[in-house]
Structure 1
Amino acid sequence: MKHYEYIIIGFGKGGKTLAADLAARGKTVAMIEKSNEMYGGTCINIACIPTKLLIHHAKKDSQLKNEKSEYYRSAIEDKNKTIAALREKNYKTLADQDTVMVYTAEASFVGTNQVRLKSTEETLDLTADYFIINTGSEPVIPPIDGLKEADHVYTSTELQQVAELPEKLIIVGGGYIGLEFAVMYANFGSEIIVIDSASDFMENDDRDIAEEVLKVMQDKGISVVHGSKATAVSNHESGGIEVTLEFDKGKELTETASALLLATGRKPYTEGLELAKAGVEVDDNGAIIVDDYLRTSNRQIWALGDVNGGPQFTYISLDDYRIVRDQILTGGSYSLAKRKNVPYSVFIEPVLSHVGLNEKMAQEQNINYVVATMPAANIPRTKINNQPNGLLKALVDPETKRILGCTLFSAESSEMINTVRVAMEADLPYTFLRDNIFTHPTMSEGLNDLFKKFDGKLA
Structure 2
Amino acid sequence: MDEIAREKSVDPASVEIWFADEARIGQKNKITRLHGEARIDGTGAVTITKGADKGSYSCTRILIATGSHASSLPGVEIDEKRIVSSTGALALTKLPKKLVVIGAGYIGLELGTVWARLGAEVEVIEFLPRILPGMDDEIAKKFLAIAKRQGLSFRLKTAVKSAKASKTGVTLSVAPANGGDAETIEADVALVSIGRHPAVDGLGLEQAGVALDERGRIKVDARFETSLEDVFAIGDVINGPMLAHKAEEDAVAAVEMMAGQPGHVDYALVPGIVYTAPEIATLGQSEEALKAANTDYKKGVFPFAANSRARAQGHSDGFVSEFFNFFTKKR
Q: TM-score, structure 2 length as denominator?
A: 0.92
Aligned residues: 330
2:87 corresponds in structure 1 to: 157
Q: Deviations over 1:386-434 (max 9, x none)?
A: 111122211111222322xxxxxxxxxxxxxxxxxxxxxxxxxxxxxxx
- Alpha carbons 2:126, 2:155 under 8 Å: kept: yes
1:375 corresponds in structure 2 to: 303
1:92 corresponds in structure 2 to: 24
- Alpha carbons 2:34, 2:53 under 8 Å: kept: no
* 1:291 and 2:221 correspond: yes
**Percent same amino acid among aligned pairs?**
23
2:285 corresponds in structure 1 to: 357
Q: How many angstroms apart in 2 are the aligned matches of 1:164 and 1:297?
A: 47
Q: How many angstroms apart in 2 are the aligned matches of 1:402 and 1:86?
A: 40
2:169 corresponds in structure 1 to: 240
Moved more, 100-109 or 186-195: 100-109
**1:236 shift after superposition:** 5.9
1:419 corresponds in structure 2 to: none
SS in 2 for 1:386: coil
Q: Relative to 1, partners in 2 of residues 1:166 and 1:273: Cα closer, same or farther, differing over 3 Å?
A: same
SS in 1 for 2:159: strand
* 1:76 and 2:4 correspond: no
Q: How many angstroms apart in 2 are the aligned matches of 1:150 and 1:70?
A: 23
Q: How many angstroms apart in 2 are the aligned matches of 1:149 and 1:109?
A: 29
Structure 2 segments unaligned to the other structure (5+ residues): none
Q: Relative to 1, partners in 2 of residues 1:159 and 1:369: Cα closer, same or farther, differing over 3 Å?
A: same
**1:150 shift after superposition:** 10
1:388 corresponds in structure 2 to: 316
What letter corresponds to residue 73 of structure 1 in structure 2?
A: E
Q: How many angstroms apart in 1 are the aligned matches of 2:60 and 2:131?
A: 49
Q: 1:332 aligns with which of 237, 261, 265?
A: 261
What letter corresponds to residue 231 of structure 2 in structure 1?
A: I
* 1:217 and 2:151 correspond: no
Moved more, 294-303 or 111-120: 111-120
Q: Deviations over 1:311-338 (max 9, x none)?
A: 3233322222221222232x223234x4
Q: How many angstroms apart in 2 are the aligned matches of 1:294 and 1:327?
A: 9
Q: 1:169 aligns with which of 99, 108, 118?
A: 99
1:18 corresponds in structure 2 to: none
Q: TM-score, structure 1 length as denominator?
A: 0.68
SS in 1 for 2:9: helix
- Alpha carbons 1:204, 1:360 under 8 Å: kept: no
- Alpha carbons 1:151, 1:241 under 8 Å: kept: no
What letter corresponds to residue 399 of structure 1 in structure 2?
A: F
**1:88 shift after superposition:** 0.7
Q: 2:180 aligns with which of 238, 250, 261?
A: 250
Q: How many angstroms apart in 2 are the aligned matches of 1:389 and 1:275?
A: 48
Q: Relative to 1, partners in 2 of residues 1:214 and 1:162: Cα closer, same or farther, differing over 3 Å?
A: same
1:398 corresponds in structure 2 to: 326
- Alpha carbons 2:99, 2:122 under 8 Å: kept: yes
- Alpha carbons 1:374, 1:393 under 8 Å: kept: yes
Q: How many angstroms apart in 2 are the aligned matches of 1:123 and 1:375?
A: 57
**1:282 shift after superposition:** 1.0
- Alpha carbons 2:235, 2:250 under 8 Å: kept: yes
2:33 corresponds in structure 1 to: 102
Q: Which has the larger radius of gyration?
A: 1
Q: How many angstroms apart in 1 are the aligned matches of 2:288 and 2:28?
A: 50
Q: How many angstroms apart in 2 are the aligned matches of 1:302 and 1:151?
A: 35
* 1:345 and 2:236 correspond: no
Q: Relative to 1, partners in 2 of residues 1:198 and 1:280: Cα closer, same or farther, differing over 3 Å?
A: same
Q: How many angstroms apart in 1 are the aligned matches of 2:101 and 2:69?
A: 17
Q: How many angstroms apart in 2 are the aligned matches of 1:211 and 1:148?
A: 30
Q: Relative to 1, partners in 2 of residues 1:111 and 1:202: Cα closer, same or farther, differing over 3 Å?
A: closer
**1:132 shift after superposition:** 1.0
Q: How many angstroms apart in 2 are the aligned matches of 1:263 and 1:190?
A: 17
- Alpha carbons 2:211, 2:219 under 8 Å: kept: yes
Q: How many angstroms apart in 2 are the aligned matches of 1:106 and 1:120?
A: 6
- Alpha carbons 2:170, 2:190 under 8 Å: kept: yes
What letter corresponds to residue 234 of structure 2 in structure 1?
A: L
Q: How many angstroms apart in 1 are the aligned matches of 2:80 and 2:237?
A: 30
What letter corresponds to residue 13 of structure 2 in structure 1?
A: K
Judging by fraction of residues, say which structure has more helix: 1
What letter corresponds to residue 103 of structure 1 in structure 2?
A: L
